[in-house]
Amino acid sequence: MMQIMEGSRAIALAVKAARPNVVAAYPITPQTHIVEDISQLIADGDLDAEYVKVESEHSAMSVCIGASATGARTYTATTSQGLALMHEVLFNAAGMRLPIVMTVANRALSAPLNIWNDHQDSISERDSGWVQVYAEDNTEASDMTVQAYRIAEDSRIQLPMMVCMDGYTLTHTYEPVDILEQDLVSEFLPPYQPTDFLDVYNPESFGMFADPNYYTEFRYQNHKALEDAKAVMTEVSVEFGEIFGRDYGGLIEEYRCGDAERVLMAMGSFVGTLKDTVDDLRDRGERVGAIKVRSYRPFPGDEIRRALAGVNAVGVLDRNISLGFEGALFTDVKASLYRSKDMPNVFGFVAGLGGRDVPKRTFAKMFESIRTSKKSQESEFFDLRAEALNFQGG
């Protein structure tokens, strides 16, 4: 059922439909509307869950760990500095294989302080062992929230999962959202039934320490579970499609790539603008396409390599930068293409940081750049403002 609502509200309703037992969260812009809406749902008796109003994001994730290990379905949401504060706890949750689901309302990291959208926060948690997906619009963010529990709790996976959605651009934007019906969600997502949990009738130890004889194997299993998540995510997506009529088609989405000579790749809400740009250029006869990377971890390297076979030039938009090198997605795409027979020219574009808009004309410039530029394999800041760089103060 389509309803016009704020993105945050859509997430709160998706969380409600997923029926978590415990929610623990700490307020931070632009995640706040999500947790406010969830608080109201609980206050009104519409969601039967315990909400722990913790004193920090570090504790939010720690409460989720304790609750999840006790057998509860758990939820939290954060962004930016809050996610960074969770850093060590994220690794811990993944290492203990706890299926916590979290919304990340993507936002830039300080300094300088900036509350607007880019992907530096979640990209910086790339190696935490979490499943990490990016939503293009609010319906996808809502759908992925419910799918996340199925994926995370799957006995083959048992990993935490973060659903990333662009702060403000999605969280604070009103748009039509296809709201999930409770009956169907209950059918799609049964209650969480862990096999191992903190239980006085069957005492087990969680979070033990592992010496060099065992540590590698724990890490391998965490890694293997993430790799295995690729198939499970696709499977869950298909089943979700059968029930709800929306199948997002796996880990990447190819948009008009069939005969494309040039392709731009991106994650998150900018993909919408990118698709519009592709449509415009297609109307003018240009053979261009777009690839939306939906899952960043596990990384769909094989899918990307297949999708880019026969493409002449690829541009990768990163709304993050590994300072001192290049955008993170660019690095991963290049690595995935390394084994390609005919490697396309690949260009990296760092743009859209700290809430700077990337409009259609910028995407069009990128398409033009990868057609003419000789700087394959290189990354550039695409939307630098010279006047801001030269600003002397006063």
Contacting residues toward other proteins, per CB under 8 A: 21-22, 24, 49-50, 52-56, 58-59, 62-72, 74, 88-89, 92, 96, 198-211, 214
Q: How far is the CB of 61 from other proteins (least distance, A)?
A: 8
Q: In the complex, what is the shortest distance from the CB of residue 68 to other proteins, in angstroms, rounded to a whole number? A: 8
Name the strand (E) or helix (H) holding 254: strand 252-255
In degrees, rounded to 5, the angle at the alpha carbon of residue 74 between the alpha carbons of residues 71 and 80 is 145
Min CB(212)–other proteins separation in Å: 11
Token representation of residue 384: 């630098």
How far is Cα 179 from Cα 175, in angstroms, rounded to an integer? 12
d(Cα 338, Cα 203) in Å, to the nearest integer?
48
Nearer CB in complex with other proteins: 68/320: 68
Q: Name residue 146's amino acid.
A: V
Least distance to other proteins, CB of residue 283, Å: 54
Q: Which is nearer to other proteins, 214 or 220 (CB)?
A: 214
- φ and ψ of 336, to 5 deg: -65, -30
Q: In terms of CB distance, is 90 or 163 closer to other proteins? A: 90
Gap between the Cα atoms of 35 and 52, Å rounded: 11
Neighbours of 27 (CB within 10 A): 16
By beta-carbon proximity to other proteins, the closer residue of 205 and 390 is 205
Taking the complex as a whole, how short is the minimal distance between the CB of residue 194 and other proteins, in angstroms? Answer: 11
Please identify, using beta-carbon distances, which residue of 78 and 92 lies nearer to other proteins. Answer: 92
Q: Do the beta carbons of residue 243 and residue 305 sit within 8 Å?
A: no
Q: Which of 206/381 has CB closer to other proteins?
A: 206
CA dist., res. 358 & res. 233, Å (int): 29
Residue 239, H or E segment: helix 215-244
Eight-class DSSP state of 111? S
Q: Who contacts 53 (Cβ-Cβ below 8 Å, separation ≥6)?
A: 25, 26
| Minimal distance, residue 85 CB to other proteins, in Å | 11
Q: Which amino acid is at 73?
A: R
For other proteins, the closer of residues 194 and 300 by Cβ is 194
Query: Which residues lie closer than 8 Å to 206 by C-beta, 6 or more apart?
Result: 69, 96, 196, 198
Residue 64 beta carbon to other proteins: minimum distance, rounded to whole angstroms: 6
Nearer to other proteins, 61 or 308 (CB): 61
**Distance from CA of residue 115 to its chain's centroid?**
18
Q: Residue 203: is it exposed, middle or buried by C-beta count within 10 angstroms (0-12/13-18/19+)?
A: exposed
For residues 94 and 222, give the distance between their C-alpha atoms in angstroms, rounded to a whole number.
Answer: 7
CB of 176 to other proteins, least distance (A): 33
